[in-house]
Amino acid sequence: MAQLSPRMQELLQPHLTGIEPYDPNFTPTPINLSANENTYPLPGAARDAISAALSVVPFNRYPDPMSNNLRDELARWHGVSRDAICVGNGGDELLYNFMLAFGGEGRTLLTFPPDFSEYAFFASLTGAEVKRVWRDSETFEIDADAAVQAAATSNLVILTSPNNPTGNLADLGLVERICDACPGLVMVDEAYGEFAPADASAVPLLATHDNLVILKTLSKAFGAAGIRCGYVLAPADVIEVFAAVRQIYSVNVLTQAVARAAVGAREAYAPVVEQIKAERTRLADALRAPAAPLADDSAAPALEAPVSVTVWPSEGNFVLVRVLPDASAVRRRLRDEYGILVRDFSYAPGLENCLRITVGTPSENDAVIAALAELTGEGR
Ligand code: PMP
């Protein structure tokens, strides 16, 4: 991580002196399964709709600040009204705006780590304090009573479902209890929601809980991480605040056009999502299966033995695996010898020796399965 210069340490706002520039640890590789992107080709109907929309974008004009055409399409999809939606430059911008508007000095955000590291980062940017109720170290489930108790004395809560990087869902009964207990706003981050069963979504709870905010993104199921488009669903008065604090033109005309066409063609994405879910099962099962020992004439140097692999169940488009004794070494060798990039979480508390592998196309997953069988087979 880059260090801030002594001059910057002095000039920065005091609460920011601990910040470090974000490092996605990216190296170009033939197979990139490190960022939970959707690596499948765009469905034909979506590609046609997007091409047609892009060909008529008036890019000499500033964008519609509130992306109203897109909001209307999203409103039709989710069965809510336009004023229950705010669009942002990726989910990240909306997470930041959530903290900007409702966090800050003297406020507390409750999170359930291991989870998405940006929550704590954005909280710290605004000076908000982060309160953590750690997930169970084996199952990554949340202790419901501890969560509800902590929510009662927090200004904000973020609950991720499915959770990144552990893959598990938030129980809807717990979401309701947390909404009832928390005096402030409760965000359920459903960035990966399309890969989970439809009845796991907290969207229906919007009708009965006026402090609930749901975050969604087009970066995952819609395979559109590059356009930067996310949105929140929330009560109208909450959306008014999101609208008031946002950078006016943060969602550009090209993004609005592509997103509207993609959401309009949403049915075309269903087979891709189903295939990713099926591949997730295939990948997890294959990684769980004991690897055959390598033939004696293998040229590859042996890993420190023994190697054991634990794979957690996942409802997202990724799987979390613990590779003992040295996941970082396995990640390096996957990258350098097999051209496969996955995310190493070894540095993160609670995720020692854990790698997160995005579910790719069948051939990408075959490559991961074969490479890991070879690497871990060496140590068995
Ligand atoms: N929430 C979670 C849990 C995520 O993993 C991500 C992206 N990795 C986001 C939100 C934000 O996604 P984006 O900014 O691409 O919409």
List pLDDT tens digits, range 207-238. Answer: 999 999 999 999 999 999 999 999 999 999 99
How many other C-beta atoms are found inside a 10 Å radius of the C-beta of residue 101? 17
Q: How many residues does the chain have?
A: 380
Average pLDDT over residues 168-197: 98
User: What is the value of pTM for the model shown?
Assistant: 0.95
Would the CB of 164 count as within 6 Å of ligand 1? yes
Identify the residue whose C-alpha is closest to ligand 1 atom 9.
91
pLDDT at 300 (0 to 100):
53
Residue-wise pLDDT tens digits, 31-51:
999 999 999 999 999 999 999
Residue-wise pLDDT tens digits, 266-296:
999 999 999 999 999 999 999 998 655 544 4
Would the CB of 225 count as within 6 Å of ligand 1? yes
Which of 97, 99, 116 has most ligand 1 atoms within 8 Å of its beta carbon, as the pocket-test mutant? 116
116 has a pLDDT exceeding 90: yes
306 has a pLDDT exceeding 70: no
Choose the weakest-confidence range: 6-10, 19-23, 349-353: 19-23
358 has a pLDDT exceeding 80: yes
Please state which architecture CATH assigns to domain 6-39+270-379.
Alpha-Beta Complex (3.90)
Would the CB of 115 count as within 6 Å of ligand 1? no
> Which numbered atom of ligand 1 lies nearest the CA of 230?
16
Which of 96, 189, 229 has most ligand 1 atoms within 8 Å of its beta carbon, as the pocket-test mutant? 189
Residue in the structure block whose two tokens are 């309009």: 264
Decide if 188 contacts 159 (C-beta within 8 A): yes
Instruction: Map the chain to HEC letters.
Output: CCCCCHHHHHHCCHHHCCCCCCCCCCCCCCEECCCCCCCCCCCHHHHHHHHHHHCCCCCCCCCCCCCHHHHHHHHHHHCCCHHHEEEECHHHHHHHHHHHHHCCCCCEEEECCCCCCHHHHHHHHHCCEEEECCCCCCCCCCCHHHHHHHHCCCCEEEEECCCCCCCCCCCHHHHHHHHHHCCCEEEEECCCHHHCCHHHCCHHHHHCCCCEEEEEECCCCCCCHHHCCEEEECCHHHHHHHHHHCCCCCCCHHHHHHHHHHHHCHHHHHHHHHHHHHHHHHHHHHHHCCCCCCCCCCCCCCCCCCCEEEECCCCCCEEEEEEECCHHHHHHHHHHHHCEECEECCCCCCCCCEEEEECCCHHHHHHHHHHHHHHHHHHC
Residue-wise pLDDT tens digits, 331-345:
999 999 999 999 999
CA dist 348 and 345 (Å) reads 5
Whole-Å CA distances, 127 to 49, 69, 183, 261, 348: 43, 35, 19, 38, 22
Cite the residue boundaries of each domain of the chain with CATH code 3.90.1150.10.
Answer: 6-39+270-379
The more confident residue out of 347 and 307 is 347
Decide if 360 contacts 279 (C-beta within 8 A): yes
Closest CA to 38 of 264, 226, 188: 226
Decide if 97 contacts 88 (C-beta within 8 A): yes
Please state which architecture CATH assigns to domain 44-268.
3-Layer(aba) Sandwich (3.40)
Residue-wise pLDDT tens digits, 147-160:
999 999 999 999 99
Average pLDDT over residues 66-73: 98
Which of 216, 219, 315, 358 has most ligand 1 atoms within 8 Å of its beta carbon, as the pocket-test mutant? 219
pLDDT at 203 (0 to 100):
97
CA dist 41 and 230 (Å) reads 20
Band of pLDDT at residue 179, cut at 50, 70 and 90: very high
Average pLDDT over residues 198-203: 97
327 has a pLDDT exceeding 50: yes
Would the CB of 230 count as within 6 Å of ligand 1? yes
Angle at 146 between CA 19 and CA 197, to 5 degrees: 85
Would the CB of 165 count as within 6 Å of ligand 1? no
Instruction: Look over the chain and give the mean of its residue pLDDT values, rounded to a whole number.
Output: 94
CA 190 – ligand 1 centroid, Å: 9
Cite the residue boundaries of each domain of the chain with CATH code 3.40.640.10.
Answer: 44-268
Residue-wise pLDDT tens digits, 76-105:
999 999 999 999 999 999 999 999 999 999
pLDDT at 297 (0 to 100):
47
> Which numbered atom of ligand 1 lies nearest the CA of 88?
16
161 has a pLDDT exceeding 70: yes
CA 160 – ligand 1 centroid, Å: 10
